[in-house]
Chain A
Amino acid sequence: MPPDLDLDPKLVSKLRALQATPTRSPQLASRARTSFLVEAARLAPSSHSQPQTRQGGWNEALKNLWFFRQKGKNALLNFAITILLTFALLIGSGVTAVAAAQSAQPEDVLYPVKTWSEDVRLDWEHNPQSRLDLTLQFTDRRIAEIQASLAVNGTIPEPVLARLQSEQEQTLALAAGLPAPQVLPALTQVRNRARQQDQALSDMQLPNSHAAQYLARVETMLQNQAQLAQQGMDNPEALRQRLRNGDYSQPGTNIPAGTSTPCNGNGSGYGPVRSQTPQVDSTPIPGSGYRYGSSKTPPADITSNPGSEPQGSSTPKAGNGPGPQPASGSGGGKGGKP
């Protein structure tokens, strides 16, 4: 017994009494030993191996994969694998969301994802001709969205109009900026696309007169786009000059503010196209009008072309172009331009 300084000798004596034990029966001991060895033989690997099931085979195959073999041995590797899998899952979810968003309508939750993905695609496209093709493709999307919105709601969301306008301006700028031999085909492409889109809208069956007003506004935009492209085809340098000045108004309509009135004096700013007096109930707001509706359009030229069309920065006033004017009735009726 190990020495313990503070242990009572009487207690030690009593505990030692347990050390006295009778001798073990040799027969019982031998029998126990035999039983143990028999059990050991029974449990030996050769006798306990089980036939492999199909599942067992798969399990073994999985265990043999390198990253499962490393489990528990390399925590850092496990962490990296977890991060990698999580990242892959997020990427996969993001790709799925973007793919699903491509058919989204403006009122859908995924619509911002759709427009964002379009912006990303444009950002990644560096070839001017390809950018032009892609932008024209996106204008087709806007027209399709406009058709759907008009058919279902009888209205057009302002962001869609703003985006369409921005894309139209981009197509003109891209086409005019191409190398000289490519300018004419590109502008022809822009003009024809605008006409096709205008034709597609013209064939629409509208649910009400309110929708007709919205439709007229879009058709005006498309016709203006076609005319600008045509002007560029006739005189590319003149178009470039207009674009440099940020002037996307209808060619030949730049008249100083206060000297003209919108068509029929209704101040709609988009002129008669389908109906005689296009009615746009709302006051033009920044980014919603035909001109400078996009944040990508440089605002610096607003003052250089006063009164050419609704500028969207304030409520239209009599005499400055976009708002209701004293009825002179001589306005060109295009986009609020005098």
Chain B
Amino acid sequence: MSSIAEETLLRLARRFDQAALAELYDRYNNGIYYYALRLLGDSSLAEDCAAETFSRLLRALHDGGGPTENIKAYLYRSAHNWVTDYYRRTPPLPLDPEVDIIEPESDPCIQAEENIIQSQVRSALRLLTADQRQVITLRFIEGWEFEQIAASLQKPVGAVKSLQHRAVSALQKMLLKNG
């Protein structure tokens, strides 16, 4: 089942084929989790985001909706919307490093410094627009191509590049102003 084409996987998933749904989950769930974790900095929130993203997928398929061709883009957009909603509901992140992200076996000093940078980046990302944030995250953290991001945002590639340009300018001002 692991080598199954995405189109076939989607068709089987629409029929609620349990094996196909399990395959779909295994194929994309970890990526969604880490995507959420990078943006949220909290593993519990990331688990919630991933669980809700896949639950929404099931409900959409049940109602005859859901992705038409690109499951990955659909899932990342859904997760991004969840994160955006979360940002709206909660106050901005504190500048203190997230304890949750500290790796127990790593050097505490290095880890602390890394956590500070992560927190700064996360705070800066939060100040971007939702689309800019998604472009930056997918492009520079998840490593997607413009075409994939365009599919996820349901925008033309040119619009994605424009979003990236403005987002990078904003991030440079926010993150590099002190050198």
By a beta-carbon cutoff of 8 Å, the part of chain A in contact with chain B is 1-2, 4, 6-8, 10-12, 14-22, 24-25, 28-29, 32-33, 35-37, 39-41, 43-45, 48
Contacts and interface: CB of A to CB of B under 8 A. Distances in A.
A43 B145 CA distance: 34
Nearest to B46: A24
Given A18-B121, A20-B114, A33-B29, A10 B176 contact: yes
A18 B122 contact: yes
Interface of B: 15-16, 18, 21-22, 25-26, 29-30, 33-34, 37-38, 43, 47, 50-51, 54-55, 58-59, 61-62, 100-103, 114, 117-118, 120-122, 136-137, 139-141, 143-145, 164, 168, 171-172, 175-176
A29 B140 contact: no
A291 B105 CA distance: 122
**Which residue, A8, A36, A44, has most C-beta atoms of chain B within 10 A?**
A36
B81 to A, nearest CB: 18
Given A15-B141, A21-B38, A44 B59 contact: no
Interface of A is mostly: helix
Contact of A40 (B18, B29, B136, B144): B18
B38 A36 contact: no
Contacts of B121: 14-15, 17-18
A124 B162 CA distance: 73
B80 to A, nearest CB: 15
A138 to B, nearest CB: 63
Contact of A32 (B29, B139, B172): B29
A12 B136 CA distance: 11
A37 B164 CA distance: 37
B172 A11 contact: yes
**Which residue, A6, A15, A19, A43, has most C-beta atoms of chain B within 10 A?**
A15
A160 B162 CA distance: 80
Contact of A21 (B55, B101, B171): B101
A238 B16 CA distance: 96
Nearest to B59: A43
Contacts of B114: 17, 20
Nearest to B117: A17
Contact of A39 (B43, B58, B100): B58
Contacts of B43: 22, 24-25, 28
B143 A1 contact: yes
Contact of B176 (A8, A25, A32): A8
**Which residue, A22, A35, A45, has most C-beta atoms of chain B within 10 A?**
A22
20 contacts: A2-B143, A11-B172, A11-B176, A15-B121, A15-B136, A17-B118, A18-B38, A19-B141, A24-B43, A28-B43, A28-B47, A29-B33, A33-B25, A33-B26, A33-B29, A40-B18, A43-B58, A44-B18, A45-B15, A45-B16
Contacts of B54: 36
B111 to A, nearest CB: 9
A11 B29 CA distance: 28
A300 B117 CA distance: 110
A39 B21 CA distance: 11
6 closest Cβ pairs, A-B complex: A44-B16, A17-B117, A18-B38, A15-B140, A43-B62, A40-B21
Contact of B55 (A1, A36, A41, A48): A36
A29 to B, nearest CB: 7
